[in-house]
Amino acid sequence: MADNRVNPVPRHVAIIMDGNGRWAKERGSPRLKGHEAGAQSVRVVIKACRDAGVEFLTLYAFSVENWSRPKAEVDGLMRLLVRFMDDQEHELHENRVRLRVIGRLADLPDVVMNSLNRVMERTAGYTDHQLVLALSYGGRTEIAHAARRIAEQVKAGTLQPESVDEACVAANLYAPDIPYPDLLIRTSGEMRISNFLLWQLSYAELYVTPVCWPDFREPHFRAALDDYARRSRRFGGIEPEVKR
């Protein structure tokens, strides 16, 4: 059985960046200030991933449910995303990081998609590290999207119903070429995955920290990697025996 102690560095880390609102409330600030502070943590973690040898970093940046938040907050988040792309692009080039986006992208304002498309096109040639932003994303929405694509193929006669298996579903997800996360980090202490990568997280190791996302820094990220390195991943099997 697989034992990831042989390779202690996860290839793919996914993060639920939680606690921006709580962080702002504790300081008597508007929620948007928490999101602005959280942008610095994103910069820190991108660099920490590169330094640690993590190839893929997926960030849960905006869920399909987040559209129900107050319009002022949503509009502020969209402006912050455009500003982050403008400010961060040179660092992505410097670190040779490719930007990708998954989610229900048609929901996003044109100005946001224009900014994202510009950076994705300019970083498309980088292969060592990838930053994946989940925007207007929901795990159930993604699985429904895959089911709809499969149904269309069956209807068109290009796919037989008996050929629909796990590999077929996986091939119709938003980014089927990206390996599944090895490690999921959630900040602010909440014990749930909040409709994030429901298919892909089936065998991911979970790490929850009470630290709110705006305070999350490289030592916190290293602590998560160290914890991961001490685990044995069995993928439904049993603990391998240690030969003495």
**Quick one: three-class SS letters along 93-112?**
HHHCEEEEEECCHHHCCHHH
Q: How confident is the model at residue 41 (pLDDT cuts 50, 70, 90)?
A: very high
Architecture of domain 4-137+180-229: 3-Layer(aba) Sandwich (3.40)
| 20: annotated active-site residue | no
Which of 38-42, 91-95, 236-240 is predicted least confidently?
Answer: 236-240
pLDDT value for 3 = 45
| 18: annotated active-site residue | yes
- At residue 43, does pLDDT exceed 90? yes
Strand order in the sheet with 56-63: 97-102, 129-137, 56-63, 12-16, 183-186, 205-208
pLDDT value for 8 = 86
Domain ranges of the chain: 4-137+180-229
More confident residue, 1 or 199: 199
The residue from 4, 18, 20, 172 that is catalytic is: 18
Tokens matching residue 141: 């929405």
Which H or E run contains 117?
helix 110-123
The residue from 66, 95, 117, 195 that is catalytic is: 66
Q: What is the pTM of this model?
A: 0.92
Which of 79-83, 106-110, 167-171, 229-233 is predicted least confidently?
Answer: 229-233
pLDDT value for 236 = 64
